Structure 1
């Protein structure tokens, strides 16, 4: 039986960062990706300043930079602005390919695409009916994590995101739309890219049923006179149910670990941080994560915030409206930017 020291399932930001951190070590590493190409993923493609600082991305990969975002609550609007860029957009295919290129310098890392894992055993995974042994297994396989299910934690997938990818240059502002009538405690977004725009929304399934969310989204699009006839419809699960990172010789990272924000839906920074620190735990059993606890602290704040907004019921519109008015005051706008980025 073929054997590797570390097998990573999923070549998204978490899996790629984990593999990169294991590069040039004495460990043989196998990175498995079920798709034919690494990079493309159903995602709005928004980044924060934390993402950018962590990745140290080359300028050419950044599609748009923003030092302001527009917030809309029912009939109220405001612009939060600062002197520095704090919101960015990137094409996920280009991000994945850039991360992949960084792995080519490491002789101890092997990457396989079209490699769907059909079974997980205590010491091996099965790909194309062939077992491949491991000493350590990393589940970086997203919100529908097979590894998480193997560990006995069925992904909750409480959240769902839906969007249209529309080939247009019409939209160039980074915008959020809070419309409790349609999206309860969440929002719709407009994220511009070079060749297209992502226009979408998200919510918890147990607060808004997926069919109702889609219907509400269509109504909102109609209200805004947004033409999606030439757009590609996409939907994606969002698992924010955190169960842990380390389970003996098996680890979870990124969305598979349920680290994404239940409020903003952002998960790339969490994926990068957890991918890196999982690798460090594998390399050094005594390593104590530093950034993962910080991520979890922020996640807990977001979980409390979203639960508060869910419980607020009909008062959500008032709360969001007060927020928009407060964000017109510089010190409150600064706090909002810090929370976002």
Structure 2
């Protein structure tokens, strides 16, 4: 059966009749296919291992995982490599965010990210990672993360998370932000508070980072703040180490857990990216595309992310607006006994 999508007569929802799958009650987002053809990266762009056509991308992604289980202390040269990639990623995110408006499709945003990455001599890190088909993740309304850009036009009142990672000359830089779409969204107090809470949780966690701080303290900082504002941390999704490898140790939990291990050291580089659901339900639902993750109850979700470097006195936000920004966290850590 051909399931015509309500947005246009030329698109379909491929998952409408998938056995065992059902969109959450009240969901506002449906898959809107066909996807546009895979973007072709110029031969001049240096690629990560998983994106080299001569070797299986899945093999290299798995190899990177196996080879990066230890928490890396980056050399000054490696730090500078990530710093450059992070700065470029911030530039591209700002450009992509400026295109957010009613009527714009997430596929159009993907094209902007791809084109701006190439202009900066960067490879868009998501493209081909474990088979991911696009250059950016666009997560709208109830989508928590990993939304695949497609033909759905953004609507006045939506919110959208744009997650950009760029690979520049051997190093990745990763960040995301959540944005209101149109005047209805900007006037929607609940949505704007959700977006602000995600950012506030990120900033609170950054403020206590520094040498000697257990990575577990990140979740201990985020979860109480999130829950005090009637939001739930999406517990299945985490931050991660990043450098010459896209995803590596440590796993950054955004909730309280005994699974978190390790203590921050100067030279550690990682992301913090709390994903928060409106209300108290933290569980999620995976779409049949094996990428898109939705809230289980159709509630909205928002996130914020930066790439961070631990220094001798605190933390450097490598993806900060306007360029890398250092924060001396000694007093904040001392006040918490860290």
TM-score (norm 1): 0.24
Greater relative contact order structure (CA < 8 Å, 6+ sep): 1
Higher helix share: 1
Higher strand share: 1
User: Larger Cα Rg: Structure 1 or Structure 2?
Assistant: 1
